[in-house]
Each structure stands twice: as structure tokens, then as C-alpha cells.
Structure 1
Amino acid sequence: MKPAVLARKVGQALLAPLIAVVVAVLVTSVVVVVAGASVSEFWDVMTQPPSSRNMVNIVNQSSMIFLAALAAAIGFRMNLFNIGIEGQYTLASFTAAVVAGMAWFPGKLNILVAVVVAMVVGALWAGIAGVLKVTRGVSEVISTIMLNAIAGTLVGYLLSNHGQQYGQGRRTTPIPESSQLAGWTPFAEKDGAIWTLVLLAVLAGVGISFLINRTRFGFDLRATGMNEPAAVASGVNVKRMVVISMLLSGAIAGLIWMPALFGGADYYGPPFQRTLGFTGIAVALLGRNRPLGIFFGAVLFAWLNEQANPLALVADISPSVVQITQGVVVLAVVIAYEVVRRWAAAAEQRALRKALDEQPTAEGVAA
């Protein structure tokens, strides 16, 4: 590739994120001003280096957000909107916690079984929407929204009727000490530990990237998502691809809370972190459904969440402003990428038209 062409492509790739960052900063600053707070204090808090404890929390939170976004991205690449990630990881987390608490298997084997159970439960719950789509034509958006409600109600019922009383709430049986993972402590003991199963996010990212970009299945998935009629004409079984994609998306969703479960939560109950599924959808859009882009988006969202904690104390600003920032970033990136894509396409057409116009002249000179 010629240096000029390479430089142009790199510039186009960096232009959209740059536009999105500028827009997000401007819109957030306006919101802070409208809220009657100081813009300088807000950005001073948000841009200060995180403490050691916050760094650990950012890494841990990034792993769960990354898995949630990866699950959403698989559906998006297939042109499916799996909005049911919330219900899938809720039911999977509860089931895995129950299995791990029962301790039917010794030590670390108990962890492996629980993780596999979480993936199977998440896959089966997402598979319901896939089967309904290919057999009855039910939109996966509608079915997954309903399955979210069913999963939440079912877990609540089971926890209320069969869980252990714990303070003002209920919980599953705690995981035995032999199945708990100490994690890695990069700083002082008081700063906490990075969960061992953060590695699940790394393995899932590498595995999905290889599957989508280096296998026939991945090619069929991308082809179906971009142009379904063309995929059908080339022999792709679209219905089978829909079901498999939903199963795969649900399996990854089942892993979302596993790092936290075996990293210190030890049971399903008050420590369970909700809304990660919806956060994952936003991060998948932010990362353009690519594992590398999703990684940066997950770190950004985790960083913003951690930095928002001292806002009320230090700058007397509601942490909710950060949620506005996150939403603006996602919208700005989506719009900016589309604007840059159209601009690049128009530039290529102009260059091609110019080359075609000059061709007769070049031939005439050669004659």
C-alpha cells in the first residue's frame, strides 16, 4: 500500500473517534454548566490519575463490561439485536452460584463446572429467542425483552423461596473456601485484588476474534449480517446461523458475572451487579462490534464510573452527569463514524471519476 493511501486510511480511522471525543466534551460541559456546577472542577476530577484501588476496580469492572459487550457484538455482527443479555447473565449467574454453593465437585473442578453451567444456561435462554425467530418469525427484540422480565422474576422467586436469609435479603449458599480464587494483588493489600477470572474476558475476546475473522462460520456470520440474500444465494443456512449466533451470544453472556462470583462475591445475592447487559450494548456500539474497539470502550466506561464516585464530595456534582457523558460518547461515535464513512465514500468516488476522466488523455499522449 502506498504511503499516501495508508496515511489517508489512518487519518479516516482516527477522525471519527476524535470528532466523538470533542462532541462529548462540549456537550458534557454544557450539561455541567446548566446544572450550575463548575466545568473546570468537573474535568479536574474526571481527568486526575486513578488511585491504586480505583485502578484495581477499573480492571475488574472492565472485564465484565467487555464480556457483556462481546455478547452483544456477536448478535450485531449477525444483524441481530440481543437485548436479552441482562436476563441471560442474571439467570446464568444465579444458577452457577447455586451449583458452586452445592460443591458437588472438589476444589477448582467446582469452579470449572459452575462456569460451564453458566455458559449453558445463558446459551439456552438466548436460544429460546433464536428458535422463536426462525420458527415463528418473532422479533428477537420483543422476545428477549420478555425473557429479561421472566428471568428476573424467576430468579427472584427462587431466591425468595429457597435462598438463605442474609440480613434484609436472601442469598444462595456461599461457595466453599476451596473453590474461591484469591486473585492478584498488584498494589497494597488494602487496595484489593484483580480477579483471577478476568482471564475469561481475555480468552473470550481472542476466541471470538479468531472465530469471526478466521473461520468459515465467522465468514458466514459476517456475510449474513451484511447481505442476507447474497448469503442465502451462496448456500448459507440463515436459520441455523441465527440460532447458533444467539446460542453463542448467550454463552458469552453467561460468563459476565463469573469473575466477580469467584473473585470475592462468593454467592448470588446483594453483591450481584445489575444492568451490565445494557451497558454492554452501549459499549458494543462504541467499539464498532470489534473486540479491540470493545476493549477500549469497556475500559473507558469503567474508568468513567470509578472517576464519578468522588464527584459529589469533591466538586458537588451529581455522578449522574457521567451517565450523560457515556450516552453522548456512544451517540457521537455512531454518528461520527457514519459521517466519516459517507465522506470517505464520496472522496473515493471523486478520485475514481477523476482517474477515469484523465484516462483518455493519457492514452492519447501515448499514441
Structure 2
Amino acid sequence: MMKIDKDKLIIGAAGPVLALVSSFVLTVLVLLATGLDPIEPIRLMIDNAGYSDVQVLIVNYTGILYLAALGVAIGFRMNLFNIGVEGQYRLAAMVSALVGAAVDLPGPLHILVIVLVAIATGALWAGIAGILKTTRGVSEVVSTIMLNAITTSLVAWLILPKNFGVQPAGSNDLTTGQIPESGWFPGIDMGEGGQIYGFTFVALALGVVYWFVINRTRFGFDLRATGESESAAQASGVDAKKMIITAMLISGGLAGLAGMPILLGESHTYSLAFPVGVGFTAITVALLGRNHPVGILFAALLFAFLEKASSSLDIAGYPKEITQIMQGIIVIAVVVSYELVRRYGTRRQQQKVGEELAAGGAIKTDKEVSA
């Protein structure tokens, strides 16, 4: 029977719980300071989440955040901070939409081509940061931030009508053209609630694959070992530079998939209305979920709830920005809480080692006395 380390279990759960509780308390204090009822907005969001259409929106957005957060988590497990998930996600969505609208293939093959293009685009864009880090020592934080800025300008240029964009008649919007129906990914019809994206279930399946690869394969062991100590991993025969590039490619590939649920399930085109900020939210989701696929799922569900269930706040006289305040406070709470828990865990581990050493010394002394 496997022995459960209670201290490890408590410390693992303490970070997210402390972050959520402290963020709730801080949000209440902020609302009180502005003269607003701190409980009513939360009640309104919970009531709003009772409607079937809002529930579908929450589930769909959870899948999008989950894919992006898995991309972030791969980097974190490698001790890489891939801030460029936002740029990788947007560029991949646009390029795959362009290719999807330009080709005419049988259904499954059409979808496969769009998905592969998205993976390749995200991976290549993230790979630039990996190559810069391994060949020039450029921090992935700096390079991915710059790549995000380049993505914004590149997407704006590509979507111009004189390049690859299409402007629908009588509209100010710009799109990449409509993907034929053969490139649509089927979903689950929820009646009046709308449709759950079929790719949401692909996202969940990838969470299982992520867990298996990280915890049950040699590659996952090498990735975690390199993240813990690059020099130690090299001493054991792991090519650290190769692992960095590989991790960035996988991270970018998963980020590229984050746009597929909405692209293949609803919009069938990339336009100016395509969701933005997904990659930045995914960083917090991965942190709150402690890079574990189950934790990330619940964190993605929480942020999807905050995003989609807040639509009625402005109607009730509350600023919708309350949810942005809550998300921002969660970010701060996650960082502070996890650092406090880490320090407590270190002290607890040192204490346990001291107790074991003291117990060993006592046993030795008793034996010496009896001798």
C-alpha cells in the first residue's frame, strides 16, 4: 500500500487555497473601499452561471484557457517562463485560418491540416525564443515579450485587405475569409444553450497526455530534471540545450492549439473580434493550478466563470471591471501565497530532518550506554 505524505499533500493544496481565500478577502476590501456591496456582485455572477447559455460559454472558454495553460505549464516544468503564449496563440490562429480558408479538402483531412498548421506556427514562433536562449543566452522572458509585440504588428499587417485580409461588405471588421464547412469541428448541441466546442474534449484529452508524458516517460523525467538543475541534468547525460528548444517547441505548439476551439467550432475565421489576452490569463491559470493538469482544469474553470458570468454586472449597476480586479488580485495572491507556502515547506522539511537526526542520535546513545 502506497504511503501518503501528509505534509506534502497539505503543502501542495495550501498554495491554491491560500491564494483563493486571500484574493476573495482583498476583493471584498476593494469593493468596500469604493462604497459597493462586496457580496452582491458575486451572487449575481453565481445566479448568471445558472443559465444554460452562460454555462456553455464557461465550458467553451475553459477549453481555450486549458490548452493555453498547458503550453505555459510545459515551460514552467522546464523552468522556462514562456510569456509569449499570447503571441503564439494569435499568430497560429490567424495563419491556420488563412490556410483553412484557402484549401478545399475532405472533412477530416481539412481539419487535420488546420490543426497541424496551428501547431507548427505556434511551435516555430516559440522556437525562436528557444534558439536565442541556447545560442545567445537571451532570456526567454525578454525574447517572448518582444515576439508578442511583433505578433501584434504582424497580424495587423497580414489581415489588411491588400495582403490576406477580407473586409465583409458593409462592415468595418477584417477577416481571413470563411473556412469551408469541411473544416468545421463538430460539437455537442445543447439546445437553447448553444453548442459546446468539440475541440474542448480534445483539450481534456491533451491534459491526460501531458500528465502521462511528464510523469511516466523518460522525456518527462529529463524535462523535469533539467528544470530542477541544468548542470546536474547535463552531468547525467541530458542535452540541456536540446531540452530547452524541445520544451519551447512543445509549449508553442500547445499555445497554437488554444485558438482551435473557437476557430473550428464557431467563428470559422480569424477577425478583429478574435479573443485576446488568452495567453496572459493562461499564465495565472498554470500558476494557480501548480502545473498539474487537474489543478489547471479547475483554475481554467474559475477564470472562465469570472469572465463569462460577469456579463450582467453592468446591468445591475456594478462595473464589469470587478472581474478584472479579481483576476489581478488572484495573480498577486498566487505569487505571494506560493512563496509563503514554499518557505514554510522548506522550514518544515528542515525541521523533519533535524528531528530524524536527533532521533538517530538518541538511539545511538542508548546503544552505547547499554554496551
TM-score w.r.t. structure 1 length? 0.92
Instruction: Return the alpha-carbon distance in structure 1 between the equivalents of residues 313 and 253 of structure 2.
Output: 36
**Cα drift, residue 364 of structure 1:** 5.3
Label 1:7 to 1:269 Cα distance change in 2 as closer, same or farther (>3 A): same
**Cα drift, residue 285 of structure 1:** 1.2
**2:98 paired residue number:** 98
**1:40 paired residue number:** 39
Kept after mapping to 1: 8 A contact 2:311/2:320: yes
**1:122 paired residue number:** 122
Number of corresponding residues: 363
Q: Which amino acid aligns with 1:88?
A: Q
Query: More deviation in 322-331 or 79-88?
Result: 322-331
Instruction: Return the alpha-carbon distance in structure 2 between the equivalents of residues 149 and 219 of structure 1.
Output: 34
Kept after mapping to 2: 8 A contact 1:24/1:332: yes
Q: Which amino acid aligns with 2:46?
A: T
Label 1:52 to 1:136 Cα distance change in 2 as closer, same or farther (>3 A): same
**1:336 paired residue number:** 337
Instruction: Return the alpha-carbon distance in structure 1 between the equivalents of residues 220 and 7 of structure 2.
Output: 29
Q: Which amino acid aligns with 1:113?
A: V
Kept after mapping to 1: 8 A contact 2:16/2:288: no
| Structure 2 spans left out of the alignment, 5+ residues | none
| Structure 1 spans left out of the alignment, 5+ residues | none
Q: Which amino acid aligns with 1:112?
A: L
* 1:143 aligns to 2:153 (yes or no): no
Higher helix share: 1
Aligned pairs (5 A) from 1:123-272? 123-160=123-160, 161=162, 162-166=164-168, 167-186=171-190, 189-272=191-274
Instruction: Return the alpha-carbon distance in structure 2 between the equivalents of residues 197 and 360 of structure 1.
Output: 59
Instruction: Return the alpha-carbon distance in structure 2 between the equivalents of residues 266 and 306 of structure 1.
Output: 21
Q: Which amino acid aligns with 1:185?
A: D
**2:279 paired residue number:** 277
Label 1:39 to 1:210 Cα distance change in 2 as closer, same or farther (>3 A): same
Instruction: Return the alpha-carbon distance in structure 1 between the equivalents of residues 313 and 88 of structure 2.
Output: 33
Label 1:141 to 1:359 Cα distance change in 2 as closer, same or farther (>3 A): closer
Aligned pairs (5 A) from 1:75-94? 75-94=75-94
Kept after mapping to 2: 8 A contact 1:286/1:334: no
**Cα drift, residue 263 of structure 1:** 0.7
Instruction: Return the alpha-carbon distance in structure 2 between the equivalents of residues 363 and 307 of structure 1.
Output: 63
TM-score w.r.t. structure 2 length? 0.92
Kept after mapping to 1: 8 A contact 2:104/2:180: no
Q: Which amino acid aligns with 1:87?
A: G
Aligned pairs (5 A) from 1:104-115? 104-115=104-115
**Cα drift, residue 175 of structure 1:** 1.2
**SS of structure 1 residue aligned to 2:275:** coil
Instruction: Return the alpha-carbon distance in structure 1 between the equivalents of residues 332 and 281 of structure 2.
Output: 14
**SS of structure 2 residue aligned to 1:170:** coil
% of aligned pairs identical? 45
**SS of structure 1 residue aligned to 2:174:** strand
Query: More deviation in 147-156 or 238-247?
Result: 147-156
Q: Which amino acid aligns with 1:39?
A: P
**SS of structure 2 residue aligned to 1:165:** coil
Kept after mapping to 2: 8 A contact 1:96/1:115: yes
Aligned pairs (5 A) from 1:13-32? 13-32=12-31
**SS of structure 2 residue aligned to 1:156:** helix
Instruction: Return the alpha-carbon distance in structure 2 between the equivalents of residues 258 and 25 of structure 1.
Output: 32
Superposed CA offset, 1:69-128 (max 9, x none): 111111111111111111111111111111111233122311111100110111111111
Superposed CA offset, 1:317-364 (max 9, x none): 212121221222233233223322322332333333234334444455
**Cα drift, residue 46 of structure 1:** 3.2
Q: Which amino acid aligns with 1:168?
A: N
**1:70 paired residue number:** 70
Label 1:361 to 1:320 Cα distance change in 2 as closer, same or farther (>3 A): same
Kept after mapping to 2: 8 A contact 1:283/1:330: no
Q: Which amino acid aligns with 2:338?
A: Y
Instruction: Return the alpha-carbon distance in structure 1 between the equivalents of residues 125 and 353 of structure 2.
Output: 49
Q: Over aligned residues, Cα RMSD in angstroms? A: 2.0
Instruction: Return the alpha-carbon distance in structure 2 between the equivalents of residues 9 and 234 of structure 1.
Output: 27
**1:354 paired residue number:** 355
Instruction: Return the alpha-carbon distance in structure 2 between the equivalents of residues 148 and 291 of structure 1.
Output: 25
Q: Which amino acid aligns with 1:50?
A: G
Label 1:202 to 1:26 Cα distance change in 2 as closer, same or farther (>3 A): same
